[in-house]
Amino acid sequence: MSRNTKIAVGGVAAGIILLIWLPWWAALLIVLGVPTVAYLMLDPSQRRRLRRVSRREIGR
């Protein structure tokens, strides 16, 4: 199994566990809120660079 597949499987498992233990709105807030906050914490130059790279290059 590739590295990206392992990460995807782990993310799905974490999402299912969150949905079981938390109300659906709290799990949704975590799943959507954490990446949004992380993106907003970047400098404008880092955001431009992140938009420029392809998804394949992000893992390197």
Rg from Cα positions in the chain: 14
Per-residue pLDDT of the chain (60 residues; tens, 9 = 90+): 788 788 888 888 888 888 888 888 887 888 788 888 988 999 999 888 888 876 665 655
pLDDT at 60: 55
For residue 20, what are the domain limits? 3-58
Q: Taken in order 54, 60, 48, 15, is the CA torsion positive or negative?
A: positive
Q: Is 23 left (phi over 0), alpha (psi -120 to 50) or beta?
A: beta
Total of domains in the chain: 1
pLDDT at 43: 92
Please count the CA atoms within 13 angstroms of the CA of 35 that sit on its side-chain side: 4
* Cα–Cα distance measured from residue 5 to residue 56, given in angstroms and rounded to the nearest whole number: 13
pLDDT at 56: 60
